[in-house]
Structure 1
Amino acid sequence: MCILQIRMSKEMEELSPLGDSGHGDESEEETEEDDEPKICQVCGDKSTGYHFNAMTCEGCKGFFRRAMKRPAQLSCPFQNACVITKSNRRQCQSCRLQKCLSIGMKRELIMSDEAVEKRRLQIKRKRMHEEPVMLSPQQEAAIEELVTAHQKTFDMTCAQFIQFRPLDRDQNSMSEYSREPKTGRYSNPTMHTRPPEDGVQRTVNLSSPSSSFQSLKKNTDKRWLKGAIFTSLPHFTDLTTYMIKNVINFSKTLEMFRTLIIEDQISLLKGATFEIILIHFNMFFNEVTGIWECGPLQYCLDDAMRAGFQQHLLDPMMNFHYTLRKLHLHEEEYVLMQAISLFSPDRPGVTQHNVVDRNQETLALTLKTYIEAKRAEPEKHLLYPKIMACLTEMRSMNEEYTKQVLKIQDIQPEVSPLWLEIISKDGC
């Protein structure tokens, strides 16, 4: 995957009066005194201070810098005795330069182009720290559109989940939970019970995610797993189909998505749907218990295993959910993350790469600006690169996810046509 890059907008040519007519970029020895006359010692115009060791105006300051950097020799068309004034200072460059040198202007005080650019950047950084970062009206509108699209197309209460085919768990699974009647909701997801391996009931404490996850992998009896596999696949098929439809509806709500040609829309959806579903589920993930708390239902890692998914996918997926959830993202940051994933120009089949790339850069810059403008934590500058790293991690899981779904379909043909269409690499 290409790491997301942000091309910042071009800097203004003049940040302050810097450059050829700038004030103070090379005036390292300005020692103005109040009682000195404020006139240019070269042409008599109003002076702006000491430049290159002499009191000059902005015009003569810039002229001296350019003349010293210019390789051509200057010559006077008259008698090398021109009187330089404000009105005629452009008429004879040779005599004007000699006047500059005669009053003590020094070539060695001229800063290099690299030094000028470095100072310009320092001034810009200082101003950025002094002036509060604010979202532009266009960025505010983009965020509002994304949040509205998300809220319209995805029910955060997950009320629809109870309409899916039942999540057929082993009778011992999640038995330590306090289950509410009718809804199937588990009220205290702190422990998860596994089936007995040697006649002794054991529990895995999900409040210690790393150790319990490794223990679950090592101790799961292969014969039990083979017998229990695919029992939750019907529910996951319904769930995934429902989530795919939400992603499609979310994308179609966005103006910048609708303006793309239909072939690119399909390519982007095929590439990003798994990643956007991951982001959706991260909003429900409890990083303390390792449980996805989806309204009336709650899911644990065993449920994904019983749908047929294997550790090559589940290991990095679990790490991803812990990493992203611990960032405690705002809803705005979540939806911007979804949109950045959607508008990935390097998805297979995308033809309008430049258009998609510009959209992604706009969204990425909006996310970066949002963090700077809305976050107050001292470490907020680390949040943006952490989010980008999570996006990269999702891309690395995407291919393995496709392989495993196709493998599940070969063994247990339960995957829905829409699900297969999304993961297919063929054209529409």
Structure 2
Amino acid sequence: AHTWPDDAADPRVCLICGDRATGLHYGIISCEGCKGFFKRSICNKRVYRCSRDKNCEMSRKQRNRCQYCRLLKCLQMGMNRKAIREDGMPGGRNKSIGPVQITDEEIERIMSGQEFKEEASLPEHTWSNNGDSSDHSSPSNGASEGNQPSPASTLSSNRSLEIGGGYTAAVRDQYINAPMNTPYQLLPHLFSYAAQSGLLAPQPRSLYPQSHPLVMQLVAAEDLAPLATPMLIEDGYKVTQVELFALLCRLADELLFRQISWIKKLPFFCELSIEDYTCLLSSTWQELILLSCLTIYSAQIFGDLADVTAKYTPSDEELQGFSEDSMELMERLIYLFRKFHQLKVSNEEYACMKAINFLNQDIRGLTNVSQLEQLNKRYWYVCQDYTEYKYPHQPKRFPEIMMCLPEIRFMAGKLVNVPLEQLPLLFKAVLHSCKSSFISNRTGSSPCMPTTATSPGN
């Protein structure tokens, strides 16, 4: 894709949703969000449905409401599906430059999934929600905007059929024990494609020998002790906006310090340069903090901190200044909390998720991208192996957990752009809505299901 410098005062906008365009993606001028959505939709062979008249509004704020109409407009505006790399990795195919014009019949074949069926001899991969209520990627029935590679398979049908038990075991052995400079031809998360596609029933099995020590090393690097920042407020005390903001800053400081200490304890710490670690941390610290708040520190964040925010009453001016972007972010954070609430992510899974998210080879300025890619693949497979072993009766658990990462990445990027004066109200709204879910979970009730978001004023 051809992109423009971040500081360029370019008036061009995305031809799909009208958001700020970042360059020429798959043949047309578009934003990062629509670029990623189009790539995921085509690579994962997704088939969507429109619950209206197939003419939904496409804007920056409305684009996630209907995936069908968003993909339809991508095709109508000339986005070139042939420009997407066959391996699904970042970067398009340079041989296809500029928009393409396809007939209405071709568009209908893509939208209905007919073209995908004819391309592959295997049944369709059922990663998309197809418009039902079991969406795992976005609270508004839309795929997340993150850059994390999708766990869905992009293998050709012939290659997929070759992945059998003996072949898989041999590649696993090479993958886990190979030196870091060995090139990998297959992404590790594709090994169980057949099982995930419904071709094979999930079977209880033993854990691959190297997976357990690798997972335990990651868990050992984590600081699982409760947060030390005081969050106890005496009864009857009214917390001010300034006091709550100061508390949030102290929490962020402690959480960031824990991430810095975590890096030094990583089992692969000596394998990467300090420059790359600095680059990775500066790009992912918000995501790491958000992930930890939703998992290992959730008892304090959605318990103690929620008690503090409950004692803060926003003014009418603060309520009126609560932007639509903050409202959307609030709803997505509540959704993600409920998703983690439902999954009950273990410490082992959390440690793997965190490492996978941290080892992001798509970040600009890195010096050893290939080494990062190999490490990322290693822990992706280890997490998959551990999860499938630990939860044999939840065959979709691993993909559901991995699909949380791009959503976290997207929301962390949005959080840093929220005006500082809106943060106390945003946290109050989110924690108030989620606290009842947390309490019911702590007392042994069944996981809460998504409900209408609570108003920030409550």
Instruction: Please report the TM-score for the alignment, with normalisation by the length of structure 2.
Output: 0.44
Instruction: Please report the TM-score for the alignment, with normalisation by the length of structure 1.
Output: 0.47
Instruction: State the structure with more CA Rg.
Output: 1
